[in-house]
Amino acid sequence: MKKTTLIVTLLISFTAMFAQNGFDSVEDFGYYQRNWAKVKLNGKFGFIDKNGTQVVPTIYDEIFMFNNYKRGWALVQLNNKYGFIDKTGKEVVKPIYDQIDVFNYNKRGWAQIKQNNKYGFIDKSGKQVVDPIYDEILMFGINKRGLAQVRIGDKYSFIDKTGKYLTSYKE
């Protein structure tokens, strides 16, 4: 009982201490990332560590849970655009996309992205591997093994598993 009371007292003290330092809110340590607390300042979110050091600046409109899209990464939103930070707080994908799907959904190691109503892919390192030039991308393997059907305007073709656009293919 004393241990529980001590933990609650410490959490309240931490929250009060960080709130006095100017944060609008401080969430529980460890909920999003081990030893970090999500903080809000002037409507923007970031993270602090248990020493109160800011490890992710309070610049994002929202920061979502780690590991939902890719292990060790959290989706961030800035000005209605999306990107990712990693578990060290580094921005690994700049928030420039209108939408980012989960990794491995369409193709292993890739996440489909949407930018200016066009679709493409980023890989697991965050590198854009298929430029967002397509009006539509279907799942890999639906129409042809190892290929994804793509559409630009009213024209259809395929991309291969490296992202190369195919002007023709053989059965």
23-57 pLDDT, tens digit per residue, is 888 988 888 888 999 999 999 999 999 999 999 99
DSSP conformational letter for 24: S
**If pLDDT is split at 50, 70 and 90, which confidence band does 15 have?**
very low
Angle, CA of 162, 166 and 167, to the nearest 5°? 165
Q: d(Cα 103, Cα 95) in Å, to the nearest integer?
A: 16
Q: pLDDT grade, residue 111 (50/70/90)?
A: very high
Measured distance CA(134)–CA(107) in Å, rounded: 16
User: What type of residue is 150?
Assistant: V
pLDDT greater than 60 at residue 114: yes
Model-level pTM? 0.81
| Token couple for 94 | 């700049």
Distance CA 122, CA 168 (A): 24
